[in-house]
Structure 1
Amino acid sequence: MPKFMFIYHGGGMPETPEEGEKVMAAWGAWMQGLGDALVDGGNPAGMSKTVTASGIDDDGGSNPVSGYTLVNAADMDAACALAKGCPILDGGKGTVEVAEAMEM
């Protein structure tokens, strides 16, 4: 079965411990709901640097990626259906980019 990457953009850090607990509960429930499709729950992404052929670009640590998850799905449509329930979409503050992880 093909694997798909969910690449998260945007979102934000909870402002209070209570909000953090609510956000973590939403992510946990969503990931549990993915069932056997979940391959790797992933992690949030921190500050970044870009490595190019001419060196390392230290752009101040801005990173367009805020995290990732890896899932199994029959096809792109099925993967997008799984992504629609992602908590990062709540409130319109983030997006999920869905891309097939190509076998090599």
Structure 2
Amino acid sequence: MQKYVFVYHGGPKSMSPEEGKEYMGKWLDWMSSLGEAVVDRGLVVGKSVTVGQSGISLDGGANPVSGYTVVKTESLDSATELATKCPHIAIGGSIEIAPALNIPM
């Protein structure tokens, strides 16, 4: 089994309290449906800062990160299938999927 990192990008700028509650219910249902595949539920993150050779950008970049999750599954195809059911996509976000490499840090 391989670990994969789901990095969530984008999504709406704001939601009404009702929309937020509905979305969170869908999110929790989806997360529960992942079952044993979930290694780390991850975090939702706020506005990011980008540090690079040309300096510091306070705008979060072209496609800002909004959170992450780590799953363990048989293949990239399997991880992709899990991600396609995520409610983040329905609200205009995207999910970047990358294998976690076993390199000591």
**Which TM-score applies when normalising by structure 1?**
0.86
Q: How many percent identity over aligned positions? A: 42
Choose which of 60, 63, 81 in structure 2 pairs with 1:62: 60
The residue that corresponds to 2:33 in the other structure is 33
Tell me the CA shift for residue 48 of structure 1.
Answer: 2.1
Following TM superposition, by how much is the alpha carbon of 1:51 offset from its aligned partner in structure 2, in angstroms? 3.4
Query: Aligned partner of 2:58: which letter?
Result: G
Q: Who is 2:22 aligned against?
A: 22
Preserved contact between residue 4 and residue 79 of structure 1 (Cα < 8 Å) = yes
CA shift for structure 1 position 16: 1.5
The aligned amino acid for 1:29 is D
Give the direction of change, closer, same or farther, for the CA distance of 1:82–1:45 in structure 2 (3 Å limit). Answer: same
Note the residue ranges of structure 1 that are not aligned, 5 or more in a row. Answer: none
Q: In the alignment, which residue of structure 2 is the partner of 1:99? A: 98
Residue correspondences, number: 101
Any unmatched runs of 5+ in structure 2? none
Contact 2:9 2:67 in 1 (8 A): yes
Q: Name the SS for the 1:32 alignment partner.
A: helix
Instruction: Please report the TM-score for the alignment, with normalisation by the length of structure 2.
Output: 0.85
Structure whose residues are more often strand by fraction: 2
Cα distance in 2 for residues equivalent to 1:82 and 1:42: 15
> What is the root-mean-square deviation of aligned Cα atoms in Å?
1.7
